[in-house]
Structure 1
Amino acid sequence: MTDARPIGPEVDASPARRPERKVLEGRFVRLEPLDAARHGPALWRAVDGADAVWDYLFDGPYPDEASLVAEIAAKAASADPLFWAIVDRAAGEAVGYASLMRHDLVHRAIEVGNVLFAPALQRRPAATEAMALLAVYAFDALGYRRYEWKCNALNAPSRAAAERLGFTFEGVFRQHMIVKGRSRDTAWYAMTDGEWPAARRAFALWLSPDNFDGAARQRRGLAELRRQASA
């Protein structure tokens, strides 16, 4: 007999935990709670002259180091979004930052956003690892069931990154925001806790030293490994 009034399956209704300021350790990067004095000067050096990194962010570019450091101090004081500096372990310096934001503890949904990758971090294994570390923290440590990624619909690199990382495209919110005086349509992506085990396995396999040749080129792509993990 068909249920004429479907209302959705029952789920565990216990709340998720709020993210905390803690260090998240990886092989290529270490995510440290953002700190203006510790990370500001390095971030200025990493993005100085690279104004394009700010094109789709809500702030920037900044005219000088002091202006950027002041904004980083404000970000560091925020609880939601909660920011981490992305520190290159080899260089020992910050090369970007990212945040976990919109902490919905009741419905167990959270978003990764405010992602700044300096040129030295872009298209590197370290960038993938930084995103993997935040996803592991959100799903495995904090108990979220929905992990969101949103970006300007015109931001083709961000949209490609979302899909590569395992997020599912859910649609475009038209005229969603006005950012820096320009209309923004927002593309929505998300990953659920049901999709997470395959994504987590794919991250681990992709980041393994065995997946890179002597020239640091990947042997297998992240999407291929995720399909394999889902089979």
Structure 2
Amino acid sequence: MKYQLNNNPLEWQPVAAPERTVLTGKFVQLEPLDTRRHGDDLWQALQGPDSDPKLWEYLPYGPFPVRKEFNDWLNAKQDSADPLFFTIIDIASQRAVGLFSYLRITPKDGAIEIGHVAFGRVMQRTPGSTEAIWLLANYAMSALGYRRLEWKCNAQNARSMRAAERLGFVNEGIFRQHMVIKGRNRDTAWFSIVDSEWPRCREAFIRWLDEANFDSNGQQINSLQALRNQ
């Protein structure tokens, strides 16, 4: 990929930090993390017998075999401003099915990251999982006016890297020996969507989530990538 240097002065003003707000879609609703309200559902979704055994493999914390440790972790996260955590509520069942956050929130530069992604097995590879990312991305890029939306993951986490590319993030390369996580080296893959790319990504998300893009069995008709390329 070729990059063009642009040193022209920007017509840019710092943006606001995201607020603890509710974001509602067709499949999911995002709510600020609240251990009291969401804890039982999140425990079942992320640690219960039907949870994804690979969920915690690349995260810097977990798993939490003891409920108190899990609650202590949630309590610490619910009061954090950066990262700013949201619980994902499945609208049909009204149950919490996952959580994720904004982080590295830098209003003066217009940069923000989506991370700490912990989706329960029940929401993985569903329209709701795509809509959850869309809701955070659209709030940051469209409503608040950020210039750069980031996604980072362990370079060995093939599942997260595939997800980033499917969602429209551009691979910017690998930071070698970037971190030590759980006693192991982590090379970090960096991805981003910048403001000049966002309108095309935004339109693709809207068209992908439209009910006309799903057949009678709930299967997609056009992929996100195909819609971005149209």
Q: TM-score range by the shorter chain?
A: over 0.9
User: Aligned partners of 1:10 and 1:131: how far apart in 2?
Assistant: 31
Letter in 2 for 1:175: Q
How high is the TM-score relative to the length of structure 1?
0.94
User: Aligned partners of 1:15 and 1:105: how far apart in 2?
Assistant: 6
User: Aligned partners of 1:170 and 1:37: how far apart in 2?
Assistant: 39
Aligned to 1:62: 64
Letter in 1 for 2:84: L
User: Where in structure 2 are the equivalents of 1:69-88 lying within 5 Å?
Assistant: 69-88=71-90
Q: Which moved more, 1:62-71 or 1:91-100?
A: 62-71
Aligned to 1:165: 167
Aligned to 1:3: none
User: Aligned partners of 2:15 and 2:96: how far apart in 1?
Assistant: 29
Identify which of 95, 100, 103 aligns with 2:102: 100
Q: Which moved more, 1:49-58 or 1:139-148?
A: 49-58
Shift of 1:107: 1.0
Residue 156 (1) aligns with residue 158 (2): yes
Q: Which moved more, 1:179-188 or 1:8-17?
A: 8-17
Letter in 2 for 1:46: A
Aligned to 2:26: 27
The count of corresponding residues between Structure 1 and Structure 2 is 223
Identify which of 172, 181, 206 aligns with 2:208: 206
User: Aligned partners of 1:18 and 1:7: how far apart in 2?
Assistant: 26
User: Where in structure 2 are the equivalents of 1:185-196 lying within 5 Å?
Assistant: 185-196=187-198
CA contact (8 A) 1:51 1:61 kept: no
Shift of 1:12: 2.0
Q: 1:30-60 CA distances to partner (integer Å, 9 max, x unpaired)? A: 0000000111110111122433101111110
Residues 74/25 of structure 1: CA separation in 2 closer, same or farther (3 Å cut)? same
User: Where in structure 2 are the equivalents of 1:66-145 lying within 5 Å?
Assistant: 66-145=68-147
How high is the TM-score relative to the length of structure 2?
0.95
Letter in 2 for 1:182: R
Residue 226 (1) aligns with residue 228 (2): yes
User: Aligned partners of 1:177 and 1:130: how far apart in 2?
Assistant: 27
User: Aligned partners of 1:35 and 1:168: how far apart in 2?
Assistant: 32
Shift of 1:7: 6.2
Q: Which runs of 5+ in 2 are unaligned?
A: none
Shift of 1:64: 2.4
Q: Which runs of 5+ in 1 are unaligned?
A: 1-5
Letter in 2 for 1:222: L
Aligned to 1:177: 179
Runs of 4+ in 1 over 3 A off after TM superposition: none
Q: Which moved more, 1:50-59 or 1:123-132?
A: 50-59
SS at match of 2:105: strand
Shift of 1:223: 0.2
Letter in 1 for 2:164: A
